[in-house]
Amino acid sequence: MYNDNPTLDHLVKTIDPMRQGEVLDFPGHQEKGNGKLFYIESFGCQMNFSDSEIVAAVLHGAGYRSTRNMEEADLILVNTCSIREKAEDTVRKRLYIYNKVKSSKPGTLIGVLGCMAERMKKNLLEEEKLVDLVVGPDAYRDMPKLLESAEDGHRAINVQLSREETYADISPVRLDSNGVAAFISIMRGCDNMCSFCVVPFTRGRERSRDPFSIVAEARDLFDTGYREITLLGQNVDSYHWKNPETGEEVNFAQLLRMCADVNPDLRVRFSTSHPKDMTDEVLYAMAEKENICNYIHLPIQSGSNRILELMRRGYTREWYMGRIHAIRRIIPECAISSDIIAGFCTETEADHQETLDIIRQAQYSMSYMFYYSERPNTYAQRNLKDDVSLEIKKRRLSEIIALQNSISRQLNQSDIGKTYKVLIEGDSKKSAEDFKGRNSQNKMIIFPKNPGLKPGDYVYVEVLDATSATLKGRITQNPQS
């Protein structure tokens, strides 16, 4: 009914109706449980959190139940991140804590999942004996078998990467969910090979998931009360699926429309976009469909053309600003955020100034900001010198953060007096008297509750006050009453 594109209408209707409602609960499995409990912690990007939900589904299938209490778990898992050295250090510290728990409950198994698995398999399993199980991001289906062999005291390891695995047929078990917003993984891996990035080595080659399974998952979520989905991939703009039988193709803009057409009350977000691949077709889909949120995460990484080339990002600052102007032209209300790295190999003070300059020009609503951390096997590690001192990296990073904070504050203050449609996500952290929710631009807004409203409802909120991180407001009109 809401589909105005005949080609896509056809695609949406071919979704297997048997898949409806199969997400979330495992009543059958509940009865067949093996009495064992698993506890899982996730680090790193949203993709990792989304993967943990696939792991939970695989474990449910094998009879395990989840627990939030590490002490009572038979299996302690950590889904790891390798993107910066600090992330790996954090995981190592956690492993010592898990082993302490294990020492008071022998027989507990400890497993490392995700990006560190490939890199650490030798150390963790053989030398340090900190873990019983090592499972790479493409091997989660193998976990029941690996667990059996770990229980028998054998090495349990599978870090094989795949060119096909998308877990398309696995319905994730939503962990720590607010019941309103969920992530859907639409592709895996990355073919970009940015010179600083370890992801292509830990997560393997890029592959896109069958769009019908994506839309079916979105529909299931909507039917169980969810009102927002975020489509996840390392580079969503290069999403490309081809039907092996008919040759029919679906690109990211088409996938966005298909998801938006599930229901006008289902918000659609996505992350991450790559400046070199983001097409106007995507922007037009966003402008046309009210429920595709006006927010784009478009990492610049550096404002210097020389550094961008060393980073192998595939664009210049001029190209990047061209994309920003296209967004402003086609979706004037769109908020844009970024990732920025300070102190990449050979970065000079002049390069750094160019980064500050592009942050000013782009007017990001927020950014994720890091200093460069050399990663093993990357092009940069093999070919470039990590020659900016830690002190300078940190100083440049703090300048970047200070500038971004002042821009975020200014932009938020210019929202005062405006009214936004907000999806209620739950109680605010600070007060049970207030709700929190986000507007289309992904800004968090806190506002006093109105009786009768609940998470998952949409409300109109007028902004009354702002900091660099949050908006405060009051409900002006309830569109559902």
* Whether 216 contacts 16, CB under 8 Å: yes
Letter for the amino acid at 171? S
- Beta carbons of 478 and 421 less than 8 angstroms apart: no
82/404 with CB nearer ligand SF4: 82
Among 29, 102, 375, 393, binds ligand 5AD (CB under 6 A): 375
Q: Of 404, 297, 395, 315, give the one whose Cα is nearest residue 347.
A: 395
Q: Does 199 bind ligand SF4 (CB under 6 A)?
A: yes
Write out the H or E segment, with its range, that includes residue 147.
helix 143-151
Contact stretch for ligand SF4 (CB under 6 A) within 34-42, 196-204, 214-222, 283-291: 196-204
Tell me, residue by residue from 67 to 86, as one string, x for binding to ligand 5AD by CB under 6 A and - for no binding.
----------------xx--
Among 190, 341, 345, 423, binds ligand 5AD (CB under 6 A): 341
CA separation (Å) from 148 to 47, 98, 260, 477?
27, 20, 42, 56
Answer yes or no whether residue 208 interacts with ligand SF4 by CB under 6 A: no
| Residue 301 binds to ligand 5AD (criterion: CB under 6 A) | yes
Q: In whole angstroms, what is the distance from residue 121 CA to residue 303 CA?
A: 37
In terms of C-beta density within 10 A (0-12 exposed, 13-18 middle, 19 or more buried), how is residue 124 classed?
Answer: buried
Stretch that binds ligand SF4, among 156-164, 197-205, 359-367, 384-392 (CB under 6 A): 197-205
φ, ψ at 184 (rounded to 5°): -125, 120
Q: Output phi, psi for 360, to 5 deg.
A: -65, -45
Question: 84 contacts which partner out of ligand 5AD, ligand SF4, none, CB within 5 to 8 A by kind?
Answer: ligand 5AD
Total of chain residues touching ligand 5AD, rule CB under 6 A: 12
C-beta closer to ligand 5AD: residue 174 or 313: 313
Contact call for residue 233 and ligand SF4 (CB under 6 A) = no
Residue 42 binds ligand SF4, judged by CB under 6 A? no
Q: Which is nearer to ligand 5AD, 227 or 375 (CB)?
A: 375
CA distance 369 to 76: 31
Cβ atoms of 54 and 167 closer than 8 Å: yes
CB–CB of 187/233 below 8 Å? yes
SS3 221: helix
Q: Which of ligand 5AD, ligand SF4, none interacts with 190 (beta carbon under 5 to 8 A by kind)?
A: ligand SF4
Omega before 272 cis (within 30°)? yes
- Which one among 210, 339, 399, 462 touches ligand 5AD, defined by CB under 6 A? 339
**Among 373, 413, 450, 468, interactor with ligand 5AD by CB under 6 A:** 373
Residues engaged in binding ligand 5AD (CB under 6 A): 83-84, 196-197, 299, 301, 339, 341, 370, 372-373, 375
Residues engaged in binding ligand SF4 (CB under 6 A): 190, 192-194, 197, 199-200, 234-235, 274
